[in-house]
Amino acid sequence: MAIVGATGLVGRTMLDVLDEMDVPIDSLALYASERSAGTMLEFRGTTLTVQKLNEHSFDAIDIALFSAGGVLSRAYAPIAVKAGCTVIDNSSAFRMEPNVPLVVPEVNPDDAMNHHGIIANPNCSTIQLVLALEPIRKRFGLNRLILSTYQSVSGAGQKGIDQLHDELQGIEPQERISPHPLAFNTVFHNRIHEERGASTEEEIKMRREIRRIFSMPDLPIAVTCVRIPTTGGHAESVYAELDAHWTIDDIHECLSDIPGLTIIDDSQNDAFPTPISVAGNNNVFVGRIRKDEDHPQGLMIWVVADNLRKGAATNAVQIAELLMKKNS
């Protein structure tokens, strides 16, 4: 196995998750760009040296987890595939390509089996949303989504965390993920279109990816993606219109005993999931399960997950496990 982008926030979390989940690995190669090559990382008691990525990096690799950005994925994933390696790619480079499955193992594991060398890991905000909604969608139907996100600055990698922490300490950040301050503030992701009324890249991704994973190409989805000064996880205010009749107890029952999902919704004890309470956990958490008093099909839920774990590293490792089970 190999990790490409091993020194990044997601790459390092992949190392942790591979270890914690006891994934059977014969050998692990760690790759990064020239700047990070030479870095030493611990894995299962051994010190591994991060190597510079090159055209022969995948000659003896079965599965490569890519998390080094879209440019590197586009350049090196085809080389890896040609060498016989299966790529699980955390960038957005291939997510909308028809012959690249976009997979959340709890939701559409079968799609992973129809790959042609590359499997895409969805956007962090997408993963936690589809995992929380899938049991509800299967049982009660889904015909509309209106979403507002509360995203951790770690979604932009170490740079986002550094900008926030520098600002909180009164230091001028060396690099910025936003021209606006992050501390005590809310900002939006980059826009790819400059015309009036355009959505951001993050908003466009969420809408496309949810539709693709649910195989509902016409599902109406309105998304507003916001970064807030948190670091532990992404939260989402989810408004979903369902088809069938349902009660609050039905939703609680429907979300119980779902692998990878935890309900925290105890009004008496002021209990709900928060970015801090989910940090370091691999599950997706759901709370504040409510019914719209003015629209009986309108369900409101609050979905929180560690964006570096289930939103990225954990989901990628779980896809790798799916492939290993198939091949064993």
By CB under 8 A, name the binding residues for a copy of itself: 144, 146, 148, 150, 168, 178-181, 184-188, 190-191, 193-199, 207, 218-222, 224, 226, 228-232, 235, 237, 239, 248-249, 252, 265, 267-268, 270, 272, 274-277, 288-295, 298, 300, 302
**Residue among 115, 124, 189, 225 flagged as catalytic:** 124
**Residue among 115, 189, 225, 234 flagged as catalytic:** 234
Orientation angle between helical segments 124-140 and 248-255, nearest 10 degrees = 120
CA distance 293 to 299: 10
In the chain, where do the E strands start and end? 2-4, 29-32, 40-43, 46-49, 51-52, 63-66, 86-89, 118-120, 142-150, 221-224, 234-242, 261-263, 284-291, 298-305
CA distance 183 to 180: 9
Please state the closest distance from residue 7 (CB atom) to a copy of itself, in A: 23
CA distance 121 to 114: 14
In three-state secondary structure terms, 88 is strand
In 103-226, where do the E strands start and end? 118-120, 142-150, 221-224
Please state the closest distance from residue 119 (CB atom) to a copy of itself, in A: 28
CA distance 137 to 106: 13
CA distance 280 to 140: 31
Using an 8 Å Cβ cutoff, are 305 and 125 in contact?
Answer: no
The residue among 149 and 314 lying less far from a copy of itself, judged by its C-beta, is 149
In three-state secondary structure terms, 325 is helix
Position 240, amino acid: A
Please state the closest distance from residue 142 (CB atom) to a copy of itself, in A: 13
Using an 8 Å Cβ cutoff, are 146 and 239 in contact?
Answer: yes
> Tokens 């994934």 label which residue?
23
Which of these, 100, 98, 97, 93, lies nearest to 119 by C-alpha position? 100
Burial (0-12, 13-18, 19+ Cβ within 10 Å), 22: exposed
Task: Give catalytic status of residue 85 as yes or no.
Answer: no
Task: Give catalytic status of residue 234 as yes or no.
Answer: yes
The residue among 34 and 249 lying less far from a copy of itself, judged by its C-beta, is 249
Please state the closest distance from residue 159 (CB atom) to a copy of itself, in A: 16
The residue among 55 and 253 lying less far from a copy of itself, judged by its C-beta, is 253
Residues classed as catalytic:
124, 234
